[in-house]
Homo-oligomer: A and B are copies of this chain.
């Protein structure tokens, strides 16, 4: 499994993904699930992936090929697409077509493959936008009312987001929120694992403003996780039945 989360805030976008991939419980590996396409100052697109690794890797590879193609146009390359909506469409179509190809190959074994993605980005002159792309290629968009999107093992980490994330949340608080949301997920589900990839895209920067890989023994993450546990236990002990 996987847990990826993206926040669309007034001040920018905050994205977090884990890196655990497993083919059965006895075959666990680490793969990056966060991919950035950037023309700094002009356009930034970050994609988070969940689902069958063969589908997500092939989709990302095809998106890259389309960008590098000599005949690339705004219809085929996410770096030339005129709007973020078009970017989501290209990614959705690529994902759906890869999924179909691979699903077809899997038919004989009756195993089905699937994948979904969060696409966050901004082009110079446009607004920041964030989409959740479904395996079939259709997508939904984050809005003021629901300023976050999650893919993969999303339930454990949702309560904290429901409680603290609003469009007006600061970038700093947003990073805390996604890390604590991930912390709850890591504690409850073994199929989500460190290291983590955290990225911030500030409003109108059109580039990744900061990027951080958080390793299993990261002292800052450990301190925050410990402080949150203490805060929960402290808060819990003070509540009267």
Contact = CB atoms under 8 A, between A and B. Distances in A.
Interface in A147-182: 155-156, 158-160, 162-164, 172-173, 175-177, 179-180
Contacts of A220: 241
Contacts of A159: 156, 159, 184, 187-188
B172 A187 contact: no
A236 B187 contact: no
Contacts of A125: none
A224 interface: yes
Q: How many residues of A sit at the interface, in one of the four size bands?
A: 20 to 34
A229 B233 CA distance: 13
Contact of A239 (B163, B187, B228): B228
B235 A172 contact: no
A117 to B, nearest CB: 22
Contacts of A71: none
Contact of A231 (B179, B180, B238): B238
B233 A163 contact: yes
B240 A224 contact: yes
A70 interface: no
Contacts of A172: 241
Chain A interface mostly = helix
Contact of A232 (B155, B173, B232): B232
Interface in A184-208: 184, 187-188
29 contacts: A155-B156, A156-B159, A159-B184, A163-B232, A163-B233, A164-B232, A164-B233, A164-B236, A172-B241, A173-B237, A175-B241, A177-B236, A179-B241, A180-B236, A180-B239, A220-B241, A224-B240, A224-B241, A227-B240, A228-B239, A231-B231, A231-B235, A231-B236, A231-B238, A231-B239, A232-B232, A232-B235, A234-B235, A235-B235
Interface of A: 155-156, 158-160, 162-164, 172-173, 175-177, 179-180, 184, 187-188, 220, 224, 227-229, 231-241
